[in-house]
């Protein structure tokens, strides 16, 4: 019999043991790992970043390759063409009246031809000698690769392991040769603006470092163990510098761009890069990148690896640790991640992988989007090409928005700022485009956007005509307020952007034969012809006017509130069509066999809030009919969007099914007989868990992460809905730190499919209604106080 005095000591001992075990299993659970080097950049290399720079390391035995890109390195723009005109066509608006008349007469073909001829933007101009595909429109650019040859060369090794720990945002490679251990670590530190790579070995080793780039190298130098390369992008002469500082116990020599290190047991490389780009219309140049580089490396130079890592942890962990997610069930983190992914596709239960993929989205956002950096582009901050797919630009008819869906709800509000900065920078060029193409007030952007204010209608139809991009982007400006409740931000930054975005629609919408306001001409993204009213335009116009109304009320701007309300309420509402579908166009022409990846007419369901099962059940039902008809299979981002759609339709099982389709090995198929093929090209995720459109496109990762949050917590209807779409296959679990609009942080615990407890902290006092399985509870919150609820409260 254990004497009682020892009992409490034993309990304390075991609980410490348990929490260490839990922390270890959590840490182990939040790792990607592989038992061999990467050979394929897109499918296998592992991403690290410090917000400014996105790098991929390969873990090659004989030679390490670190490919990197700095977000502001772009070809194109004013530097690529002295007549660069932001794509604008000054007198395009003169044809608007005629186009509208043709549409009213049902002459859609003629109307479309006239738009194509007179109302699309200037195609990219390529000057002589320009080897890029995108001319003066430009493309985000790779900066190059740092190659680090290891003296032992490509030899057989033992215990090879390549890992990416997203809990601590550090990559590692380790192996041994005849009992001698070799280790490498890689991380990006935002506060210091540097990337840090460390190589250690039990016995002395030699290394050869070389920087290679497709850009123009103007000058390479090496002084005080600091390498520097100053160069420029050939197509627009955009200048940049990349430099690294060495700290080593070895002997160092430099010849012609190549650094060799002899007899070293430790080699620390502190790396950085910057460009002359500034996000300022109309020149976008003039950044003093050389002094930035010097300041960063001077500051880092005196610090030990441990200190550099400590600063990184003190920056990264408080952000990442805001949200933890645990599901009860099996986890296969004993398997290399690529094997694990296959086992998961073949039916193995692995809730650990489902947790990991959710948190991976948050890791990638912290690595790619921090205050003061460029926003994430189609590939976040990771790009190894001078001609990346779709220019690795900022597409605004789904992609750029999806990239930022997790920012607020998964408690990374700061990571939203680069997008808001970018949106703010588009207002001025966007006003010019609104004037030139439509003779309206306000500002527009269309589908494709570069780093140089290309806000014009793009140069091809139907994909290029999409002025709604501006108002949809502006939803993010509003959401940042809706979650943070930062009134100063609303007054000084958000509201001015919102008012201008709303003004475009107040001027552009015209009455149809029934007096409803419609968007004519308009195109539903990327399929179907010209229309007298694409539903997505109406839903986005409704959204920006509705958000502007709420903002005007908060800021007591009565006059503008009246205007936007009046216009909002005259917009043609969502229509239910002949087969019960939600109409994609004013005309009831939806084809039930259409499987197109864009499901634009469901914007009002997600990320909009005009349609919800709670408030508009018929429309929600029609949205379901449309979604069923569209089917599940689709491109990476479209799968990500569908996770969110089914979550908003409160169907957790279907949302989980789509989530699993995002995680599956890219292109893998299972025949009806159960035969599995891993050779195909298709959506899903690559072995490094980056999303496949295909090719690699980061939006799918973010859409999926946001989708998981949407399954567990929703707040778009004004109420806080707890576990609105909990899948049966997640019977027991917990998530903490999710955010709800209105300034709430929510921790949830559930068991056997039922809510067990909910903890809610309010940033602001006031009443709010909570909903669980249709039952509601209103609470008068006092800011800062923690509220505990359980099933019995509903």
Of the two residues 692 and 740, which places its CB atom closer to ligand FUC in the complex? 692
Nearest distance from C-beta of residue 393 to ligand FUC, angstroms: 8
CB 639 within 8 A of CB 661: yes
Is residue 526 a contact residue for ligand FUC (CB under 6 A)? yes
Nearest distance from C-beta of residue 463 to ligand FUC, angstroms: 6
462-501 positions binding ligand FUC, by CB under 6 A: 463
# chain residues binding ligand FUC, by CB under 6 A:
12
397-436 positions binding ligand FUC, by CB under 6 A: 399
d(CA 709, CA 726): 10
Distances (CA, A) of 66 to 146, 308, 360, 560: 5, 19, 20, 52
d(CA 309, CA 298): 17
CB 652 within 8 A of CB 726: yes
Nearest distance from C-beta of residue 397 to ligand FUC, angstroms: 6
* Block residue for tokens 């005196």: 302
> CA quadruple 408, 666, 692, 626: dihedral positive or negative?
negative
295-334 positions binding ligand FUC, by CB under 6 A: none
Of the two residues 296 and 597, which places its CB atom closer to ligand FUC in the complex? 597
The contact pattern for ligand FUC, residues 358-387, with x = CB under 6 A and - = no contact, is --------------------x---------
Of the two residues 431 and 597, which places its CB atom closer to ligand FUC in the complex? 597
Of the two residues 190 and 382, which places its CB atom closer to ligand FUC in the complex? 382
Nearest distance from C-beta of residue 701 to ligand FUC, angstroms: 13
Nearest distance from C-beta of residue 399 to ligand FUC, angstroms: 5
Of the two residues 48 and 473, which places its CB atom closer to ligand FUC in the complex? 473
DSSP letter for each residue of 73-135 = -B--SGGG-TT--TT--TTGGGGHHHHHHHHHTT-HHHHHHHHHHHSSPPPPP--TT--SSST
Long-range contacts of 663-670 (CB under 8 A, 24+ apart): 663/341, 663/344, 663/353, 663/354, 663/357, 663/689, 663/704, 664/341, 664/344, 664/345, 665/338, 665/341, 665/342, 665/345, 666/43, 666/692, 666/694, 667/692, 667/694, 668/342, 668/345, 670/345
579-618 positions binding ligand FUC, by CB under 6 A: 597-598
d(CA 155, CA 202): 17
Nearest distance from C-beta of residue 65 to ligand FUC, angstroms: 27
- The single residue among 271, 312, 340, 395 that binds ligand FUC, judged by CB under 6 A, is 395
Nearest distance from C-beta of residue 597 to ligand FUC, angstroms: 6
Backbone angles phi, psi at 531, to 5 degrees: -140, 160
Of the two residues 359 and 524, which places its CB atom closer to ligand FUC in the complex? 524
The contact pattern for ligand FUC, residues 624-663, with x = CB under 6 A and - = no contact, is -----------x-x--------------------------
Of the two residues 205 and 400, which places its CB atom closer to ligand FUC in the complex? 400
What's the distance, CA 3 to chain centroid? Answer: 57
CB 301 within 8 A of CB 293: no
Query: Peptide bond preceding 695: is omega within 30 degrees of 0, i.e. cis?
Result: yes
Nearest distance from C-beta of residue 793 to ligand FUC, angstroms: 43
Nearest distance from C-beta of residue 469 to ligand FUC, angstroms: 11
Of the two residues 259 and 392, which places its CB atom closer to ligand FUC in the complex? 392
CB 762 within 8 A of CB 744: yes
11 token code pair: 């309990």
DSSP 522: B
Of the two residues 274 and 364, which places its CB atom closer to ligand FUC in the complex? 364
Nearest distance from C-beta of residue 448 to ligand FUC, angstroms: 8
- The single residue among 137, 316, 390, 641 that binds ligand FUC, judged by CB under 6 A, is 390
What's the distance, CA 55 to chain centroid? Answer: 16
- Give the closest residue to 451 by CA, choosing from 369, 394, 536: 394
d(CA 25, CA 628): 39
Nearest distance from C-beta of residue 747 to ligand FUC, angstroms: 35
Of the two residues 75 and 337, which places its CB atom closer to ligand FUC in the complex? 75
Nearest distance from C-beta of residue 19 to ligand FUC, angstroms: 43
Of the two residues 78 and 694, which places its CB atom closer to ligand FUC in the complex? 694
Of the two residues 188 and 640, which places its CB atom closer to ligand FUC in the complex? 640
Is residue 549 a contact residue for ligand FUC (CB under 6 A)? no
Burial class (CB in 10 A: 0-12, 13-18, 19+), 118: middle
Of the two residues 636 and 707, which places its CB atom closer to ligand FUC in the complex? 636
H/E stretch holding 786 reads strand 786-790
Of the two residues 236 and 399, which places its CB atom closer to ligand FUC in the complex? 399
d(CA 550, CA 609): 13
d(CA 531, CA 518): 10
Nearest distance from C-beta of residue 577 to ligand FUC, angstroms: 23
Of the two residues 650 and 693, which places its CB atom closer to ligand FUC in the complex? 693
CB 740 within 8 A of CB 721: no
Residue nearest to ligand FUC (CB): 390
Give 152-201 as a 3 state SS string: CCCCCCEEEEEEEECCCCEEEEEEEECCEEEEEEEEEECCCCEEEEEEEE
676-705 positions binding ligand FUC, by CB under 6 A: 693, 697
Nearest distance from C-beta of residue 124 to ligand FUC, angstroms: 16
DSSP letter for each residue of 561-608 = HHHHHHHHTTBPPP-B-TTSPBPSBSSS---TT---S--GGGTTTTT-
Of the two residues 583 and 635, which places its CB atom closer to ligand FUC in the complex? 635
Helices (H), 612-744: 617-630, 636-648, 652-663, 699-712
Nearest distance from C-beta of residue 607 to ligand FUC, angstroms: 16
Distances (CA, A) of 639 to 276, 437, 594, 662: 38, 34, 16, 6
Nearest distance from C-beta of residue 461 to ligand FUC, angstroms: 13
Of the two residues 134 and 781, which places its CB atom closer to ligand FUC in the complex? 134
Nearest distance from C-beta of residue 15 to ligand FUC, angstroms: 49
Name 221's Cβ contacts closer than 8 Å, sequence gap at least 6: 227, 228
434-463 positions binding ligand FUC, by CB under 6 A: 463
Tell me which residues touch ligand FUC (CB under 6 A). 378, 390, 395, 399, 463, 526, 597-598, 635, 637, 693, 697
């Amino acid at each position: 019999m254990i004497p009682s005095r020892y009992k409490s000591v034993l309990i304390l001992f075991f609980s410490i043991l348990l929490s260490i075990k839990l922390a270890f299993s959590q840490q182990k659970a939040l790792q990607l790992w592989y038992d061999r080097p990467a050979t394929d950049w897109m499918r296998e290399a592992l991403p690290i970043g410090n917000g400014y720079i996105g790098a991929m390391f390969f873990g090659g035995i004989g030679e390490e390759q670190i490919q990197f890109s700095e977000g502001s390195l772009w070809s194109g723009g004013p530097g690529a063409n002295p007549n660069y005109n932001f794509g604008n066509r000054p007198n395009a608006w003169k044809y608007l009246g005629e186009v509208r008349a043709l549409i009213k007469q049902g002459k859609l073909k003629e109307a479309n031809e006239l738009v194509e001829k007179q109302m699309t933007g200037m195609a990219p101009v390529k000057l002589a000698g320009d080897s890029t595909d995108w001319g003066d429109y430009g493309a985000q650019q790779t900066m190059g690769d740092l190659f680090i040859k290891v003296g032992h060369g490509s030899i057989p090794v033992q215990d090879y392991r390549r890992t990416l720990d997203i809990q601590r945002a550090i990559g590692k490679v380790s192996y041994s040769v005849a009992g001698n251990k070799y280790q490498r670590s890689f991380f990006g530190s935002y506060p210091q603006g540097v990337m840090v790579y460390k190589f250690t070995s039990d016995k002395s080793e030699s290394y050869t470092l070389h920087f290679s780039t497709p850009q123009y190298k103007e000058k390479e130098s090496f002084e005080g163990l600091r390498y520097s390369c100053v160069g420029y992008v050939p197509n627009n002469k955009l200048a940049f510098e990349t430099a690294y500082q060495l700290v080593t116990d070895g002997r160092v020599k430099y010849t012609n761009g190549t650094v060799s290190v002899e007899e070293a047991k430790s080699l620390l490389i502190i790396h950085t890069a910057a460009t002359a780009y500034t996000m300022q219309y109309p020149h976008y140049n003039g950044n003093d990148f050389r002094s930035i580089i010097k300041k960063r490396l001077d500051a880092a130079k005196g610090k030990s690896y441990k200190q550099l890592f400590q600063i990184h942890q003190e920056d990264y962990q408080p952000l990442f640790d805001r949200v933890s997610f645990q599901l009860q069930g099996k986890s296969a983190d004993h398997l290399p991640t690529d094997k694990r992914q296959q086992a998961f596709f073949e039916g193995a239960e692995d809730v650990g992988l489902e947790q990991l993929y959710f948190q991976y989205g948050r890791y990638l956002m912290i690595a790619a989007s921090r205050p003061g950096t460029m926003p994430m582009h189609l590939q976040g901050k990771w790009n190894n090409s001078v001609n990346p797919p779709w220019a690795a630009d900022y597409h605004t008819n789904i992609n750029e928005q999806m990239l930022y869906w997790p920012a607020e709800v998964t408690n990374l509000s700061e990571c939203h700022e680069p997008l808001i900065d970018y949106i703010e920078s588009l207002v001025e060029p966007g006003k010019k485009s609104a004037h030139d193409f439509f003779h309206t007030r306000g500002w527009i952007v269309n589908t494709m956007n570069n780093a140089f204010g290309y806000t014009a209608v793009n140069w091809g139809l139907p994909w290029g005509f999409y002025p709604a991009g501006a108002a949809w982007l502006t939803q993010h400006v509003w959401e940042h307020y809706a979650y943070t409740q930062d009134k100063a931000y609303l007054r000084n930054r958000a509201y001015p952007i919102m008012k201008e975005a709303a003004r475009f629609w107040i001027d552009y919408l015209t009455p149809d034969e029934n007096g409803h306001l419609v968007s004519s001409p308009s195109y539903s993204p990327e399929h179907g012809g010209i229309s007298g009213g694409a539903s997505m335009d109406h839903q986005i116009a409704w959204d920006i006017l509705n958000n502007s109304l709420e903002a005007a009320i908060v800021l007591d701007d009565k006059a503008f509130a009246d205007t936007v309300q009046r216009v909002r309420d005259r917009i043609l509402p969502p229509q239910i069509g002949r087969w019960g579908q939600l109409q994609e166009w004013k005309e009831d022409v939806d084809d039930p066999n259409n499987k197109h990846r864009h499901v634009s007419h469901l914007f009002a369901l997600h990320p909009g809030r005009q349609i919800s099962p709670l408030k508009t059940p018929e429309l929600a039902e029609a949205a379901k009919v449309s979604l069923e008809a569209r089917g599940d299979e689709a491109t990476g981002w479209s799968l990500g969007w569908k996770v969110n759609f089914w979550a908003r339709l409160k169907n957790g099982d279907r949302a989980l099914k789509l989530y699993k389709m995002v995680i599956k090995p890219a292109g893998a198929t299972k025949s009806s007989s159960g035969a599995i093929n891993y050779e195909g090209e298709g959506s899903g995720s690559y072995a490094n868990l980056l999303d496949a459109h295909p090719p690699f496109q980061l939006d799918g990762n973010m859409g999926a992460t946001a989708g998981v949050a949407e399954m567990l917590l929703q707040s778009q209807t004004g109420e806080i809905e707890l576990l609105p779409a909990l899948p049966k296959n997640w019977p027991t679990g917990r998530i903490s730190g999710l955010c709800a609009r209105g300034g709430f942080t929510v921790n949830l615990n559930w068991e056997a499919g039922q809510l067990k407890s909910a903890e809610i902290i309010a940033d602001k006092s006031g009443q709010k209604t909570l909903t669980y399985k249709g039952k509601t509870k209103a609470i008068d919150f006092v800011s800062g106080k923690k509220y505990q609820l359980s099933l019995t409260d509903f």
